[in-house]
């Protein structure tokens, strides 16, 4: 069912994607203050971040499958309602338990991007599908770039609850726009809901992602961490056997392990890893005090403004990526994007000497991410039947999320292992901060991972013929 107003539809869905990413980023400036704000210790307050990541990881593949079964518009509205409800709970909370519950509800609203891609594939004219999906994919980066300076300004001039009142408004607006402007795309799958598979997938993801997020504080060799990793392996094995047995699986493993789909998802993990490294390293380099040789002494607001051009570059080059893909195919644009990311990170240690150079690094990496992220849905859609569009894009989004989770763990380990001491000031005692060598190591690791993504992308079968023949 093609819409008569594709530009309006693309704008609505991209704005919703930006809002989702914005909601994730808004909490960043208040993370250090959460224990005092919520009356909790640091370990427990960190659940405010972990809960969102876990809920989003579980919801993304499940909502994708539900979108194929019941129609993506219905699931988009559910996502927006969850985002608004979770934000409202956070806006009204002053203690840890309801705040974490609200953050988990926000996580259930995160699968808007893969569901939006499913709507675009069915509703936008074929000659505009590639560019529309590219804009949709890049909306996450744009929202992230906008969120940091916006949230810093809000926190500096008003109460932190205002962040979540803003998110509540965005969720409510998205609900109205989805209900009124997104066409009622029919379900594309005639299968049935799989309750056992849902439980197994949820349990397996929680058992995998929870120790990845908490392993550093629990201890990587602790019985709890090891036990959860073992449990995740067992649960996923049972899940795989069950999915192969039933006629209507949540995740069609036969499709997922096809070479083009598998390699695209593995490249997505690597790209998610590399991109999140930029989000972790750049703010720290910019905000370190100038009393350190490698510190640039920028304020939180200035840091956000130095990083914002990267998000804009990502959106611009996602559209360029669609034009290149029409000529050379999405495989070429993915290889190009991964190669740009790898080259920029490997050159990164020489781009940390000033704020403009850090901004330049962010722009170049974001250009590569814009090319790469825009190519991913085109590669996935060319390799799966239309009846699995939302589910397959949900798995791809989960792969990127897994990459960011692994990046957070690895980069935290590197940056906390290679430190120097920042001198005491009137506001803070002497404390350890990442060293210049630590930042260099982090960038080189990210560059190596991006090189792996480049190789994986080169091994993907070229789908350009299938993409041109995609049905209207």
Residue-wise pLDDT for 265-283, tens only, equals 999 999 889 888 988 888 8
Are 357 and 305 found together in one domain? yes
Please check whether residue 60 is in contact with residue 398, taking contact to mean a CB–CB distance below 8 angstroms: yes
Q: Which has the closest alpha carbon to 8: 186, 181, 126?
A: 181
For residues 435-445, average pLDDT: 93
Flag whether pLDDT at 14 surpasses 90. Answer: no
Give me the CATH number covering residue 55.
1.20.1250.20
DSSP secondary-structure letter at 288?
S
**Based on the domain organization, do 213 and 175 belong to the same domain?**
no
The pTM for the full model equals 0.83
Domain boundary among 140, 172, 188: 188
Lowest mean pLDDT among 113-127, 165-179, 408-422, 458-472: 458-472
Find the DSSP H helices in 158-252: 161-181, 195-218, 223-245
The long-range contacts involving 465-471, CB below 8 angstroms and separated by at least 24 positions, are 466/382, 466/383, 467/130, 467/325, 467/329, 467/330, 467/378, 467/381, 467/382, 470/126, 470/129, 470/381, 470/382, 471/386
Per-residue model confidence (pLDDT) at position 426: 65
Angle CA 19–142–59, to nearest 5? 50
Residues 91 and 35 in one domain: yes
| 399-411 burial: b if 16+ Cβ within 10 Å, else e | bbbbbbbbbbbbb
Q: How many domains in the chain? A: 3
Q: Residue 95 in contact with residue 47, Cβ under 8 Å?
A: no
pLDDT tens for 16-34 read 888 888 887 788 777 767 8
With bands split at pLDDT 50, 70 and 90, how would you rate the model's confidence at 466?
Answer: very low
User: What six digits make up the tokens of 262?
Assistant: 């598998």
CA–chain centroid gap for 411, Å, is: 16
Is the confidence at residue 3, as pLDDT, over 70?
A: no
350-375: per-residue pLDDT in tens?
Answer: 999 899 999 999 999 999 998 988 88
How confident is the model at residue 467, as a pLDDT? 43
Kindly state whether residues 79 and 228 are assigned to the same domain.
no
What is the predicted pLDDT for the residue at 157?
84
| Same domain as 228, residue 351 | no
Q: What is the predicted pLDDT for the residue at 234?
A: 97
Instruction: Tell me: do 83 and 138 sit in the same domain.
Output: yes
Least Cα distance to 439 among 345, 341, 299 occurs for 345
Query: In terms of domains, do 56 and 182 share one?
Result: yes
Helix (H), strand (E) at residue 293:
none
Residues 333 and 439 in one domain: yes
Give residue 359's domain range: 252-472
pLDDT at 198 over 70: yes
For 23-76, how does the pLDDT look when each residue is reduced to its tens digit (9 = 90+)?
Answer: 877 887 777 678 888 888 777 877 888 888 888 888 888 888 888 888 889 999
DSSP-assigned beta bridge partners for residue 434: 419
Instruction: Tell whether 210 and 152 lie within a shared domain.
Output: no
pLDDT, tens only, 78-101: 999 999 999 999 999 988 899 999
Residues 123-158: pLDDT tens digits?
A: 888 777 777 877 787 777 777 777 878 888 888 888
Judgement on whether residues 238 and 256 belong to the same structural domain of the protein: no
Token pair listed for 422: 């920042």
Q: Are 288 and 321 part of one and the same domain?
A: yes
Return the DSSP state at 386: G
Q: In this predicted model, which residue has the larger pLDDT, 392 or 134?
A: 392
């Amino acid at each position: 069912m093609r819409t008569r107003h594709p530009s309006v539809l693309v704008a609505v869905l991209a704005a919703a994607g930006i809002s989702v990413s914005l909601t994730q980023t808004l909490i960043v400036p208040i993370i250090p203050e959460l224990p005092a704000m919520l009356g909790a210790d640091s370990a427990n307050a960190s659940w405010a971040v972990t809960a969102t990541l876990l809920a989003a990881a579980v919801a993304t593949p499940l909502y994708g499958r539900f979108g194929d079964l019941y129609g993506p518009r219905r699931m988009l509205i559910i996502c927006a309602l969850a985002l608004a409800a979770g934000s409202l709970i956070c806006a009204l909370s002053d203690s840890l338990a309801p705040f974490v519950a609200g953050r988990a509800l926000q996580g259930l609203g995160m699968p808007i991007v893969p569901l939006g891609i499913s709507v675009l594939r069915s509703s936008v004219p074929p000659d505009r599908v590639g560019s529309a999906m590219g804009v949709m994919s890049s909306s996450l980066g744009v929202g992230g770039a906008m969120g940091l300076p916006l949230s810093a300004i809000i926190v500096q001039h008003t109460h932190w609850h205002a962040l979540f009142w803003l998110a509540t408004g965005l969720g409510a607006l998205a609900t109205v726009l989805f209900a009124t402007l997104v066409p009622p795309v029919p379900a594309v799958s005639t299968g049935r809901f799989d309750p056992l598979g849902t439980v197994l997938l949820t349990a397996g993801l929680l058992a995998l992602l929870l120790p990845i997020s908490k392993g550093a504080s629990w201890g990587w060799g602790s019985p709890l961490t090891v036990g959860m990793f073992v449990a995740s392996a067992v649960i996923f094995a049972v899940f795989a056997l069950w999915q192969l047995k039933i006629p209507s699986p949540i995740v069609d493993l036969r499709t997922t392990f096809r070479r083009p789909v598998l390699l695209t998802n593995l490249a997505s993990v690597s790209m998610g890893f590399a991109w999140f490294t930029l989000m972790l390293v750049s703010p720290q380099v910019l905000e370190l005090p100038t009393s350190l040789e490698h510190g640039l002494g920028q304020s939180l607001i200035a840091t956000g403004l130095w990083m914002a051009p990267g998000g804009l570059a990502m959106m611009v080059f996602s559209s360029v990526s669609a034009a290149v893909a029409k000529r050379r195919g999405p495989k070429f644009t993915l290889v190009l994007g991964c190669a740009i990311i790898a080259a920029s990170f490997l050159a990164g240690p020489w781009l940390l000497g000033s704020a403009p150079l850090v901004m330049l690094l962010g722009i170049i990496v974001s250009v590569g991410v814009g090319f790469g992220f825009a190519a991913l849905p085109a590669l996935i859609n060319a390799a799966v039947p239309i009846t699995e569009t939302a589910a397959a894009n949900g798995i791809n989004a989960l792969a990127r999320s897994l990459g960011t989770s692994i990046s957070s763990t690895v980069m935290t380990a590197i940056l906390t292992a290679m430190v120097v001491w920042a001198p005491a000031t009137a506001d803070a005692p002497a404390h350890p901060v990442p060293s210049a060598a630590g930042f260099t190591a982090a960038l080189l690791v990210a560059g190596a991972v991006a090189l792996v993504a480049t190789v994986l992308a080169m091994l993907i079968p070229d789908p350009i013929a299938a993409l041109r023949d995609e049905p209207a």
